[in-house]
Amino acid sequence: MNDLAGMREQYDDGGLDEAEAGDDPQDLFSRWFADWLATEPFDANAMILSTVDREGWPSARAVLLKGFDDRGLIFYTNYLSDKARHLDDTGRAALTFLWEPLLRQVRVSGRVSRVPPQESDAYFASRPRGSQIGAWASEQSKVISGRGVLEDAVAAIEKRFPGEVPRPPHWGGYLLTPNAVEFWHGRVSRLHDRIRFRRAQGSDRWIRERLSP
């Protein structure tokens, strides 16, 4: 079992200053994510995806980060789900990563778009067969009369695809291209460190700024 109190004390000592933050949020995110992986947490890539519908009602749920690169952060879902409808309608979303044992949180907001079909195909092919079957069987967010409906659908899909399972046309990835990334490092004193990167208007250049806790 991890010594959470010891980790809190270790990471409270350093805090987050501008020298450590650097000039590129992707670099800092990569380093922090590596630190988080080193703690061997369950579902290390879990994050909270926040969206709003056409009427402005917010919704949040946990999803899994499946990659990040110079373009942004990538996750996958059913394109017929409530979250996908929100993403397609507004083209905007926010992500939250809470790594509490390390006294760290990262908030990301930006524009969202679907990844190219071939990219979704490649990721889908890497998934376990059970997950592939589930992507076909589940009409995500739809009301059903009971679990039997889902189990019947799984049985039908397994019979339909005895071998290779192709990617469903209603399933694929999204890319969130950040316009703001905030790194929060907790302090026992409650005078936490908050450093935000935001894109300069009409530019790919990042502006770094410290926020009061």
| Residues labelled catalytic | 190
Per-residue tokens: 84: 């996908």
- Contact status, residue 75 vs residue 87, Cβ threshold 8 Å: no
The closest alpha carbon to 84, from 51, 107, 109, 57, belongs to 51
- Contact status, residue 213 vs residue 192, Cβ threshold 8 Å: yes
For the beta carbon of residue 135, count every other beta carbon within 10 angstroms.
21
Virtual torsion, Cα 203, 204, 210, 212, nearest 10 deg: 70
Indicate if the alpha-carbon torsion angle 116, 121, 127, 130 is positive or negative.
Answer: positive
Cα distance between residue 181 and residue 22, in whole Å: 13
3-state secondary structure of 60: strand
The secondary structure of 70-90 as a DSSP string is SS-EEEEEETTSHHHHHHHHH
Per-residue tokens: 55: 């009427």
**Residue linked to tokens 């809190």:** 8
